[in-house]
Structure formats: C-alpha cells, structure tokens
C-alpha cells in the first residue's frame, strides 16, 4: 500500500516538474522572442545590379542601398553583375537558394532570362524588374517593371534636334550624325538607337556610323576619336549616356574641333541622356551638351512602394515609367510634341541649374 502511494507521489512530482520545465522553456523563448522575430521580420531582398559603369548606375545603387536598410525593416543582399549576364543568373540562383522574399533585377541586356526567371517563379519568389527591361516569352515570369521609356527619351531629343534645326535653317541633309551607343542589347541602348533611327528616316538625316561606347567615358572617347578620324563631316555626336558624352567632348576637343550647337559655324553638337550629375547639367549650361533627355536613377523608393503594395496583398501596375524632363540651354525650342503630347523643354542657366540638380535628387514618383 505504502509503495503504491510512493509511486503516485513520484508521478505527481514528475508531472509538476515537467510542466514547470515547459513553462520555463516557454518563458525563455518569450524572452528571446523579440530579437529573433526582429531578424525574422526583415523582408529579404536579393538585388542583382548589372554593374558600375556610369554615374547613373552609382546613383541607382546608392538609391537602392539607402532605401532597403535594416532600420526600415529590410535585409538587402546586393550582387554586382559586372556587366555579365552569367554573373547575374548565378546571383539570381543564389537568391533562390537563400529563399529571399523578393528578387530585384536590373538586367544588363534584354534577352536570355526565360530559364532563370522560370526557376524564380517555380520557387514562388516575386521578381521586380528595375531600370532596363527583360524580353521574355511569358510576362508572368516577372511581377512588374519600373524604369524609363528609353525610346520616348530618344524621341524627345530627336524632336528637339529637328525643331532646333528648323529654327536655325539647318537643312536635313546638312546633318551628319554618329551614334555612340550604349551596351549592345540593353534596353537603354535599343530604345535610344531605335528612336534615333526612326527620326533619321522620318526627317531624312544621315547617320554616318553607330558604334558602342559601352556607356563609359573611356570607351566613348576612344570610339568618338576613331570616328572623327574616319569621317571629316561629323557635326552631331548623339551619345546614349552622359559618361560617353564626356568622353566624346574630350575627343572632339582633342581633334581640334569646337563643341557647341552652332552647326552652321562648324561646331560639333553633342546630345545625351541621363542628366544625373551636376557636371552634365553644367555642360548643358555651357553648351557643351546641346540637349539632354533626363533619365532618373532613383528607383529605390519606387521599388519599395511596389514591395509595400505586394506585402499588403495588392497588385502593382505591370509596368510603370518615370516622368522625365528634357534639358537645353538654347531657348529656340521651348516645347516639343511626341505622340500628340507636349513636353516643355527645361531651359537651364547658371541661375537655375543647381535647383534642377537638387530637384532630380529628390525625385521619386512615377507615372503609368
Ligand atoms: O542611361 C546609363 C547607364 O540603363 C538607364 O545605363 C540605364 C543606363 C543609363 O549606364 O548611364
């Protein structure tokens, strides 16, 4: 009898101590909980950046890095593709293995993404395409795109050129244009090249040569230098970004020619894209660059707005484009028309250039 009560007593003690142990485990977990859940609550974003070729790109990287911080609830995994699609594909596969919450891709070129984006879709990871576009057979392979309309940018500067020439009585057959293209196969190159070709065929302009300056100053200088030696009559150098324009300006000066808008007087006109850094806008003011189509790189807040929409169960617009300006210091053309829409030309001067520079730095909105 006594031993039976002893067994019951031991059972009761064991049960109590087990419950007590459980409680203390729970308590421990609760104590650790805040730290653990903070780490777990971070939204993990794998960002495959294509490289570091230009001022535009540096600003774009900074915008992403300053937006997706731990203080704001994000963990940003940043991979620099160094202009190689293979590197970018490897980065995306790594993000899939790490099971990130979102993949953000700034693709170096348009083609060749179908397989890796199918893998991301299979893993149910939303993919946001930023800056340049991908060319895929099935557009459900990415969630959405935010960036610029590159052909529209080109149409803006070419309309400006056409109107400027009319205002100065420069005939279409007097223009001898070379195009210093961007990275071949990149949306920014494709759109800007197509826009120029269409305008040339509409207006009867002569495009003497097209060659890639790879969006860099060094290559822009090298290619312009070579073309100037090959063709004596070049009077418009159309550069697909500001860095290649900086190189082109150096090459034109080194060749002994003058840079400027006065084609009739033998000057070589430079046209460009981006308008990101202060130097480029000052080059507009001093008429080294006659016209610049703005291309805004501050996509961090735009991507964040997309992620917030997705987090709340919403569906962002499939494609959204940044609303961008056109700059010139020449006041002959005050507005242009593209597709029946009027775009005012922002006339830069020494007095207002800093204001526009600051405005660009703050710009975060898009239009659809
Ligand atoms: O214009 C150029 C950069 O894709 C919009 O890439 C971007 C372009 C930009 O290197 O400067």
Q: Residue 83 has what pLDDT?
A: 98
Q: What is the tens place of the pLDDT at every residue in 43-89?
A: 999 999 999 999 999 999 999 999 999 999 999 999 999 999 999 99
Q: Residue 59 has what pLDDT?
A: 96
Of 154, 157, 191, 295, best ligand 1 pocket probe by most atoms within 8 Å of the beta carbon = 295
Q: What is the tens place of the pLDDT at every residue in 202-261?
A: 999 999 999 999 999 999 999 999 999 999 999 999 999 999 999 999 999 999 999 999
Nearest CA, atom 8, ligand 1: 188
- What DSSP string describes 98-134? TT-SEEEE--SSSSS-HHHHHHHHHTT--EEEEES--
Determine how β-strand 326-328 pairs with β-strand 346-347. Answer: parallel
- Give the right CATH number for 150-296+326-367 from 3.40.1160.10, 3.40.50.2300, 2.60.40.1180, 2.60.40.1080: 3.40.50.2300
Sign of CA dihedral 217, 223, 225, 228: negative
Of 182, 216, 238, best ligand 1 pocket probe by most atoms within 8 Å of the beta carbon = 182
Q: Where do we find the tokens 């891709």?
A: 105
Are the beta carbons of 309 and 316 closer than 8 angstroms?
Answer: yes
Ligand 1 nearest-atom number relative to CA 273: 1
Among the listed residues 277, 289, 309, the one whose alpha carbon sits nearest the alpha carbon of residue 247: 289
Q: What is the tens place of the pLDDT at every residue in 268-304?
A: 999 999 999 899 999 999 999 999 999 999 999 999 9
3 state DSSP class of 321: strand
Are the beta carbons of 59 and 297 closer than 8 angstroms?
Answer: yes
| pLDDT greater than 90 at residue 37 | no
User: Which pLDDT band holds residue 366 (cuts at 50, 70, 90)?
Assistant: low
Pocket of ligand 1 (CB under 6 A): 53-54, 56-57, 131-132, 148, 188, 215, 241, 273-274, 295
Are the beta carbons of 346 and 333 closer than 8 angstroms?
Answer: no
Q: Residue 364 has what pLDDT?
A: 62
**Domain coordinates in residue numbering, the chain:** 37-147+297-321, 150-296+326-367
| Neighbour-count burial for 188-208, b at 16+ CB within 10 Å, e otherwise | bbbbbbebbbebbeebebebb
Residues 326-335, mean pLDDT to the nearest whole number: 97
CA of 241 to the centre of ligand 1 (A): 6
Q: Where do we find the tokens 């699609």?
A: 85
| CA–CA dist 30, 36 (Å, integer) | 10
Residues in a beta bridge with 268: 259
| CATH placement of domain 37-147+297-321 | 3.40.50.2300
State the average pLDDT for the chain: 91
Q: Residue 360 has what pLDDT?
A: 78
Q: What is the tens place of the pLDDT at every residue in 333-361?
A: 999 999 999 999 999 999 999 888 888 77
Q: What is the tens place of the pLDDT at every residue in 260-275?
A: 999 999 999 999 999 9
Ligand 1 nearest-atom number relative to CA 56: 11
CA of 121 to the centre of ligand 1 (A): 27
Nearest CA, atom 7, ligand 1: 188
Are the beta carbons of 255 and 247 closer than 8 angstroms?
Answer: no
CA of 93 to the centre of ligand 1 (A): 25
| pLDDT greater than 70 at residue 5 | no
Q: Residue 221 has what pLDDT?
A: 98
Going by C-beta distance under 8 Å and a sequence separation of 6 or more, which residues neighbour residue 199?
154, 155, 158, 159, 161, 162, 205
User: Which pLDDT band holds residue 362 (cuts at 50, 70, 90)?
Assistant: confident
CA dihedral 58, 143, 126, 129 (to 10 degrees): -20
Name which residue leads in pLDDT, 358 or 308.
308
Q: What is the tens place of the pLDDT at every residue in 94-107?
A: 999 999 999 999 99
Q: What is the tens place of the pLDDT at every residue in 107-155?
A: 999 999 999 999 999 999 999 999 999 999 999 999 999 999 999 999 9
Report helix angle 217-230 to 242-254, nearest 10: 40
């Amino acid at each position: 009898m006594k031993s039976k009560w002893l067994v019951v007593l031991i059972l009761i003690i064991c049960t109590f101590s087990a419950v007590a142990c459980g409680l203390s485990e729970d308590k421990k977990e609760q104590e650790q909980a805040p730290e653990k859940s903070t780490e777990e609550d971070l939204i993990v974003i794998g960002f495959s950046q294509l490289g570091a070729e230009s001022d535009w790109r540096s600003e774009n990287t900074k915008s992403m890095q300053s937006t997706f911080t731990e203080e704001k609830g994000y963990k940003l995994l940043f991979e620099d593709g160094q202009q190689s699609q293979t590197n970018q594909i490897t980065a995306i596969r790594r993000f899939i293995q790490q099971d990130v919450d979102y993949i953000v891709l700034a693709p170096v070129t348009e083609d060749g993404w179908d397989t890796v984006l199918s893998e991301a879709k299979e893993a149910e990871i939303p993919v946001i395409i930023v800056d340049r576009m991908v060319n895929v057979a099935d557009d459900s392979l990415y969630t959405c795109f935010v960036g610029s309309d590159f052909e529209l940018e080109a149409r803006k500067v070419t309309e400006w050129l056409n109107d400027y020439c009319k205002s100065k009585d420069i005939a279409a057959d007097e223009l001898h244009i070379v195009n210093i293209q961007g990275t071949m196969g990149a949306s920014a190159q494709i759109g800007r090249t197509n826009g120029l070709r269409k305008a040339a065929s509409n207006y009867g302009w002569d495009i003497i040569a097209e060659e890639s300056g790879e969006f860099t100053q060094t290559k822009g200088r090298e290619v312009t230098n070579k073309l100037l030696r090959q063709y004596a009559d070049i009077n418009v150098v159309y550069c697909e970004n500001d860095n290649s324009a900086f190189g082109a300006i150096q090459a034109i000066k080194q060749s002994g020619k003058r840079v400027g808008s006065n084609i009739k007087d033998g000057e070589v006109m430079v046209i460009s894209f981006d308008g990101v850094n202060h130097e480029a806008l000052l080059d507009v003011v001093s008429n080294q660059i006659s016209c610049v189509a703005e291309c805004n790189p501050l996509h961090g807040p735009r991507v964040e707005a997309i992620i917030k929409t997705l987090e709340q169960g919403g569906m962002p617009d499939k494609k959204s484009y940044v609303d961008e300006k056109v700059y010139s210091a020449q006041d002959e053309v005050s507005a242009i028309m593209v597709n029946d829409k009027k775009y005012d030309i922002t006339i830069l001067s020494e007095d207002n250039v800093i204001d526009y520079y600051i405005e660009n730095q703050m710009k975060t909105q898009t239009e659809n």
